[in-house]
């Protein structure tokens, strides 16, 4: 009798473990989906805004209106999706089961590429002191060394942005999420390594730099920005 | 699809959940029977064998504890097996023999090892049952009586006792081992309910002499004769049992070097047993279907968890170390608050739930086994230390044991 009732423990434990495990997974999926939904709401707003800004840019160029307004809209937009990117990054680090955040990441990268294109066009049309800094990084499984370099790059760029505020548009884009439009830019302009900083479509920086060094690079070239078209995106 | 690391984590979590549920169910189902034991139908004659090698410090105390056992003296003989001691062990026992008429001494001129000594003792023993008591262990008065009741079952080959650490107040290591012994004893009792007691410990175990002789006695080629004899009994289809109410106290190592050597010996013994009975995997009832896979799987899981944890810790430290270097180079802050991620993942939730449940369960076990009258904060810290630190570093012992076993170096 003793063994008969106790031997059931093998499958009883299996059932209980499976129930707890799958409940955990189910709650995890719900939890991750709810996080993704929060980001998705922001994303939809960001998506609407980018179309609005694009259209606004086109209209402004049609009516030869002020560049200032368009530039301001783009900078504000860039700042907002930069902050959203940070939040997305933190959710991303805590996401284990679903692919929702990964998909959102890709969609955000798409928006950032559109923003970059907008900024290029705007810089051509409206010379200004605004610096466009694109930061390309490896999203999927970077090596230990690359991960450390990317963390440092992020910190330096964050410091730079804090210091210079609106005079910098910071656009971080994942290099390896297979966004086709980015792939075209990568091929065409030989953006073939990460992490990489691209300043005003002129300078490609792959070595770690201090905030001061980046400032020097940016401001030495800022005069050229007003007069020249971009170096490698022409 | 989750990445590889997540799949590994989730697998560990599932296995941990399974075994946690397994032990909880056994506890709930058998809660009333945990401390019970069968009443002996007859008074068996028992020979108590105490192998001793240079045990002058403890042998008198051990013999006195054996002599104080609540068991009819005319049904009990005590044989000290002096295994080539170079100290005063033999002299002390001879002196005690004047006090106790049923005390005998077998002197081996040379040190033959515990298994050979026991085999010599078994041949000379007159009892139907053989009790083995280590010479640094001290059985409680009623322990032998309680163990003997199990042998009313004709198929019972060996029954083991509940070991407590005698020197638990000595230092942190002894305190932690005290917790470990209680949890080990408890889980051994739970395994008894599914006929899967796989070690009959050295401090106090009782065997049926007829079956010991039938299985060929203690194997001198093994480093842990207690594991081997148990597996041998199971292999031959005999039952093994455990009595949670039969206490014995023993002296646990109180320095890390001795502890490590002892555990390495246990580890090598386990590996030897797995290797010796490997053909029995998934055969021969509970022995092949559960004990062999369970012991092997526990070792593998413990090693994999350790390797995986070390990999993750080193990776994290390497990233932090490199980041500090790069931060200095770029003159940026070494650490920024924005790096802190307060969004927990599902894995962390699982881990927290499992850790909390197992700590509560350990606390419950320690209360039930009367670890202390009151579990204070300091003692609770010891439980946490056991769960977090002790169990985490234990796989190092397994690595050392595997290394020595692979090199066929069976010294310790």
**Which 8-state DSSP code applies to residue B388?**
I
B17 to A97, B25, B210, B282: CA distances (angstroms): 18, 12, 41, 23
Tell me what percent of the residues of chain B surpass a pLDDT of 70.
95
Q: Indicate if the pLDDT at residue B72 is higher than 50.
A: yes
B21 to B14, B27, B111, B320, B365: CA distances (angstroms): 10, 10, 46, 38, 15
Q: Indicate if the pLDDT at residue A121 is higher than 70.
A: yes
Q: Indicate if the pLDDT at residue A228 is higher than 50.
A: no
Binning pLDDT at 50, 70 and 90, where does residue B375 land? low
**pLDDT tens digits along A140-158:** 889 999 999 999 999 999 8
Q: Which CATH superfamily is domain A31-227 in?
A: Glutaredoxin (3.40.30.10)
DSSP per-residue string spanning chain A: -HHHHHHTHHHHHHHHHHHHHHHHHHHHHHHHHHHHHHHHHHHHHHHHHHHHHHHHHHHHHHTT--HHHHHHHHHHHHHHHHHHHHHHHHHHHT--S-SHHHHHHHHHHHHHHHHHHHHHHHHHHS--SPEEEEEEE--S---HHHHHHHHHHHHHHHHHHHHHGGGEEEEEEETTS--HHHHHHHHHTT--SSSEEEETTTEEE-S---HHHHHHHHHHHHHHHHHPPPSS--
Phi, psi of B220 (to 5 degrees): -70, -15
Domains, chain B, in order of start with CATH, read 34-273 (3.90.550.10)
- Residue A221: the pLDDT is 62
- Residue A227: the pLDDT is 40
Task: Please state the pTM of the whole predicted model.
Answer: 0.81
- Residue A61: the pLDDT is 67
- Residue B383: the pLDDT is 85
Mean pLDDT, chain B, integer: 91
**pLDDT tens digits along B134-181:** 999 999 999 999 999 999 999 999 999 999 999 888 788 999 999 999
Element (H, E) at B122: helix B114-124
Per-window interface: A 208-227 vs B, CB < 8 A? 208-212
Nearest CA in chain A to B315: A144
Q: Indicate if the pLDDT at residue A234 is higher than 70.
A: no
**Between B187 and A55, residue with greater pLDDT:** B187
Q: Indicate if the pLDDT at residue A25 is higher than 70.
A: yes
The whole-angstrom separation of Cα A137 and Cα B135 is: 66
* Block residue for tokens 């053989």: B130
Alpha helices, DSSP H only, in B164-245?
Answer: 172-192, 209-214, 225-235
Per-window interface: A 164-203 vs B, CB < 8 A? none
Contact A158 B315 (CB under 8 A): no
Both tokens of residue A77?
């937009």
Contact A24 B350 (CB under 8 A): yes
Q: Indicate if the pLDDT at residue A229 is higher than 90.
A: no
Nearest CA in chain A to B191: A6
């Amino acid at each position: 009798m003793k063994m008969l009732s106790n031997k059931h423990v093998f499958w009883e434990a299996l059932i209980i473990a499976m129930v707890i495990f799958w409940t955990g997974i189910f709650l995890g999926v719900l939890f991750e989906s709810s996080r993704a939904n929060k980001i998705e709401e922001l994303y939809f707003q960001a998506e609407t805004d980018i179309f609005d800004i694009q259209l606004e840019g086109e209209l402004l160029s049609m009516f030869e209106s002020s560049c200032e307004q368009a530039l301001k809209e783009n900078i504000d937009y860039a700042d907002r999706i930069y902050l959203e990117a940070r939040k997305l990054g933190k959710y991303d680090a805590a996401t284990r089961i679903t692919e929702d955040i990964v998909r959102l990441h890709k969609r955000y990268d798409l928006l950032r590429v559109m923003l970059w294109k907008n900024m290029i066009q705007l810089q051509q049309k409206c010379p200004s002191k605004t610096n466009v800094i694109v930061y390309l990084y490896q999203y999927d499984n970077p090596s230990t060394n690359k991960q450390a370099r990317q963390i440092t790059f992020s910190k330096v760029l964050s410091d730079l942005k804090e210091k210079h505020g609106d005079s910098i548009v910071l656009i971080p884009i994942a290099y390896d999420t297979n966004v086709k439009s980015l792939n075209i830019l990568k091929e065409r302009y030989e953006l073939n390594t990460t992490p990489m900083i691209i300043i005003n479509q002129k300078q490609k920086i792959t070595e770690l730099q201090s905030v001061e060094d980046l400032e020097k690079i940016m401001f030495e070239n800022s005069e050229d920005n007003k007069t020249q078209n971009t170096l490698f995106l022409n | 699809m989750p990445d590889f690391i997540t799949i590994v984590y989730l697998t560990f979590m599932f296995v941990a959940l399974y075994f946690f549920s397994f032990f909880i169910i056994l506890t709930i189902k058998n809660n009333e029977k945990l401390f019970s034991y069968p009443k002996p139908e007859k008074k068996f004659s028992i020979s108590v064998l105490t192998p001793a090698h240079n045990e002058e410090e403890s042998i008198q105390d051990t013999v006195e504890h054996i002599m104080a056992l609540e068991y009819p003296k005319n049904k009990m003989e005590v044989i000290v097996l002096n295994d080539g001691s170079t100290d005063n062990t033999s002299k002390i026992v001879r002196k005690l023999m004047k006090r106790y008429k049923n005390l005998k001494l077998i002197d081996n001129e040379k040190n033959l090892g515990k298994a050979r000594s026991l085999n010599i003792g078994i041949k000379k023993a007159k009892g139907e049952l053989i009790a083995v008591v280590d010479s640094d262990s001290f059985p409680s008065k009623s322990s032998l009586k309680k163990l003997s009741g199990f042998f009313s079952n004709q198929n019972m080959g060996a029954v083991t006792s509940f070991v407590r650490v005698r020197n638990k107040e000595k230092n942190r290591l002894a305190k932690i081992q005290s917790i470990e012994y209680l949890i080990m004893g408890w889980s051994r009792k739970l395994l008894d309910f599914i006929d899967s007691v796989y070690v009959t410990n050295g401090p106090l175990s009782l065997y049926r002499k007829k079956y010991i002789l039938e299985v060929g006695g203690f194997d001198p080629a093994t480093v842990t004769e207690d594991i081997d004899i148990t597996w041998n009994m199971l292999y031959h289809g005999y039952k093994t049992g455990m009595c949670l109410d039969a206490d014995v106290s023993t002296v646990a190592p109180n320095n890390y070097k001795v502890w490590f050597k002892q555990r390495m010996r246990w580890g090598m013994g386990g590996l030897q047993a797995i290797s010796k009975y490997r053909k029995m995997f998934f055969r021969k009832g509970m022995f092949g279907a559960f004990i062999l896979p369970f012991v092997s799987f526990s070792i593998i899981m413990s090693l994999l968890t350790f390797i995986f944890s070390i990999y993750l810790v080193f990776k994290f430290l390497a990233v932090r170390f490199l980041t500090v270097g790069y931060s200095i180079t770029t003159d940026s802050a070494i650490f920024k608050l924005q790096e802190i991620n307060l969004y927990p993942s599902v894995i962390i939730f699982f881990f927290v739930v499992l850790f909390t449940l197992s700590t509560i369960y350990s606390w419950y076990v320690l209360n039930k086994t009367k670890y202390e009258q009151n579990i204070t904060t300091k003692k609770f810290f010891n439980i946490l230390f056991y769960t977090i630190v002790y169990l985490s570093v234990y796989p190092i012992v397994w690595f050392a044991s595997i290394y020595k076993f692979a090199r066929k170096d069976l010294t310790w």
